[in-house]
């Protein structure tokens, strides 16, 4: 019996956290948390703050210190952007999922979606 192979690409969610699989290697967790004043969101990688969204005009993010593959950073930015937009617009789970699928397709990241999405 052969051990089950990891998929080469994908995104795995667990509540607010997610992991990105790229070339059969998993990166994460990526996550977000509300800032102390509840006016913005802090962006986290492995529990370390790497960015903050203060407003539509005030966004900062820098994953350079983690030396992640460029494709992982791109996918993480798309997913986090969809999460922030979905939460701030009050989308339900179906709307958030549709937004993520559409946006991953738009940015040519569709290989990270489960088959059939």
Domain boundaries, the chain: 9-110
Give φ, ψ of 41 to 5 degrees. Answer: -130, 140
pTM to 2 decimal places: 0.87
Q: Is the pLDDT of residue 107 over 60?
A: yes
| Pair 85, 78: CB distance under 8 Å | no
| Pair 76, 20: CB distance under 8 Å | yes
Angle, to 10 degrees, between the axis of helix 93-106 and the axis of helix 70-88?
Answer: 140
Sorting pLDDT into bands at 50, 70 and 90, what band is 3? low
State pLDDT tens for residues 72-96: 999 999 999 999 899 889 999 999 9
Sorting pLDDT into bands at 50, 70 and 90, what band is 115? low
The CA distances from residue 96 to 71, 80, 84, 89, in Å, are 22, 11, 10, 10
The CA distances from residue 28 to 12, 45, 53, 68, in Å, are 10, 6, 19, 10
Q: Which two tokens stand for residue 63?
A: 């994953």
State pLDDT tens for residues 10-69: 999 999 899 999 999 999 999 999 888 878 899 999 999 999 988 778 889 999 999 999
Cis peptide bond upstream of 29, omega within 30: yes
């Amino acid at each position: 019996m052969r051990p089950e192979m990891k998929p080469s690409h994908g995104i795995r969610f667990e509540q607010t956290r997610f992991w990105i699989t790229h070339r059969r290697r998993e990166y994460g967790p990526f996550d977000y948390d509300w800032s102390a004043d509840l006016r913005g969101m802090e962006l986290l990688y492995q529990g370390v703050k790497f960015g903050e969204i203060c407003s539509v005009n005030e966004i900062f993010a820098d994953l350079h210190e983690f030396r992640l593959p460029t494709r992982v950073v791109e996918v993480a930015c798309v997913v986090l952007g969809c999460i922030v937009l979905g939460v701030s617009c009050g989308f339900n789970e179906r709307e958030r999922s549709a937004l993520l699928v559409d946006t991953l397709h738009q940015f040519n990241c569709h290989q990270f979606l489960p088959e059939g999405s």
